């Protein structure tokens, strides 16, 4: 058991006891002050979890870093590469995404280039040094050097500053200027040309011809198949030529049959029309529809029938060749076959357009006037599959 100083016989002086009491009293006062008052804390110390001195230090270092970054970007190599890339991006944005965004990017590139030029070593070398001597030659030389320096200092920035201004003026001018006329107008000129030939038609080896056999059943078509055209494809063997029509398709009239047809006001002839539909325009015709006229005479009454003939797509400066072959030898016989009379017109559908349009159908003028029509549509050849023509 520990004894106090008095119990151990140690002498305690009064002034020592007073000093201890004073020390204890000062500690109590300091504790009360910490509880009731807020002590002002010096800068740079962390009190109550707040960082009073960090922000000024961060601002100082951030400003220095930004200054270093700006100095790096204004150096010759980064400025040359950077402004070129930013300018290219601005041009791409103008012509693809939008004018406003692209103009802003080009403006940034121009400002960057101007700043880099003003602090560039090339310009600094052109800057004349201050002179001390007052000699006239020295002063004149200094003035010339200063004028050259000022010229280079402001001419290059002026060019960069004019770049976004030029794009803006061009954009505004394009909005106010009248629309430019089309470079070339669409020229639509379908042309029909025919010439008379005599049966049979000779086909070289590995060749094909397009034929319209002039009968009501062919020209009217089949209502169940509206997309089927009136053209028949007749071909030859890959190694042999042939004459069409041949014995496989029918036979020629006998003298008795010919006299009978003539007595019925028909003149059987072995003729056909070889025609070309040509696109002489500068656009592609997706479809061309021409009107074929067939006149028939029955009981001394002449009637005109109109049939729409649709042609396959025609590229510019291309032709489609076909044959008009009479096949009627009995029944109601055609007396005249020709293409649409005056005004001769065709319905065309230009590739890329929504609506068809009616245009003039030009007829080529060839050597014989009989190249435009057949004076008789009666066939001298008797076909196996088509004999009696009726129901025009």
Nearest-angstrom CA–CA distance, 64 and 54: 15
pLDDT 10s digits, 162-198: 888 888 887 777 666 565 555 456 788 899 888 888 9
Where do we find the tokens 């044959």?
323
What residues have CB less than 8 Å from 152, skipping those under 6 apart? 123, 126
pLDDT digits (tens, 9 = 90+) for 311-326: 989 999 999 999 999 8
Look up tokens 């030898």; give the residue: 329
Q: Give the pLDDT mean for 344-352.
A: 89
Query: Does the pLDDT at position 21 exceed 70?
Result: no
pTM for the structure as a whole: 0.52
> Where in the chain are the domains?
57-172, 190-389
192-233 pLDDT, tens digit each: 888 888 999 999 999 999 999 988 878 887 655 666 678 999
What pairing do the DSSP bridges indicate for beta strands 208-214 and 319-326?
parallel
Q: Is the peptide bond before 343 cis (omega within 30 degrees of 0)?
A: yes
**One-letter-per-residue 3-state SS of 292-311:** EEEEEEECCEEEEEEEEEEE
Mean pLDDT of 261-280: 84
């Amino acid at each position: 058991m520990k004894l106090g100083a008095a119990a151990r016989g140690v002498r305690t002086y009064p002034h020592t006891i007073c000093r201890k009491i004073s020390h204890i009293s000062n500690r109590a006062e300091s504790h009360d002050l910490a509880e009731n008052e807020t002590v002002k804390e010096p800068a740079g110390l962390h009190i109550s979890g707040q960082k009073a001195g960090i922000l000024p230090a961060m601002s100082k270092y951030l400003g220095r870093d930004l200054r270093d970054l700006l100095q790096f970007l204004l150096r010759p190599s980064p400025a040359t590469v950077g402004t070129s890339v930013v300018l290219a991006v601005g041009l791409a944005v103008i012509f693809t995404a939008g004018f406003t965004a692209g103009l802003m990017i080009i403006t940034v590139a121009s400002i960057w280039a101007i700043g880099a030029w003003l602090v560039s070593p090339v310009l600094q070398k052109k800057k004349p040094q201050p002179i001390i001597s007052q000699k006239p030659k020295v002063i004149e030389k200094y003035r010339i050097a200063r004028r050259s320096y000022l010229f280079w200092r402001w001419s290059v920035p002026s060019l960069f500053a004019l770049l976004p201004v030029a794009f803006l003026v061009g954009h505004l001018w394009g909005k106010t200027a009248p629309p430019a006329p089309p470079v070339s107008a669409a020229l639509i000129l379908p042309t029909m040309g025919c010439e008379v030939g005599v049966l049979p038609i000779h086909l070289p080896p590995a060749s094909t011809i397009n034929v319209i056999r002039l009968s009501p059943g062919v020209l009217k078509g089949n209502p169940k198949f509206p997309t089927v055209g009136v053209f028949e494809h007749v071909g030859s063997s890959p190694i042999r030529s042939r004459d069409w029509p041949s014995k496989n398709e029918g036979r020629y009239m006998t003298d008795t049959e010919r006299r009978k047809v003539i007595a019925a006001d028909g003149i059987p002839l072995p003729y056909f029309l070889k025609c070309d539909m040509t696109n002489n325009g500068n656009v592609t015709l997706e479809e061309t529809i021409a009107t074929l006229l067939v006149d028939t005479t029955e009981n001394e009454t002449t009637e005109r029938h109109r049939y729409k003939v649709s042609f396959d797509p025609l590229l510019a400066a291309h032709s489609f060749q076909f044959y008009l072959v009479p096949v009627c030898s009995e029944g109601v016989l055609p007396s005249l076959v020709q293409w649409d009379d005056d005004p001769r017109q065709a319905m065309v559908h230009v590739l890329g357009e929504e609506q068809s349009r009616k245009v003039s159908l030009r007829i080529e003028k060839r050597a014989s006037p009989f190249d435009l029509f057949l004076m008789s549509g009666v066939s001298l050849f008797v076909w196996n599959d088509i004999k009696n023509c009726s129901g025009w």
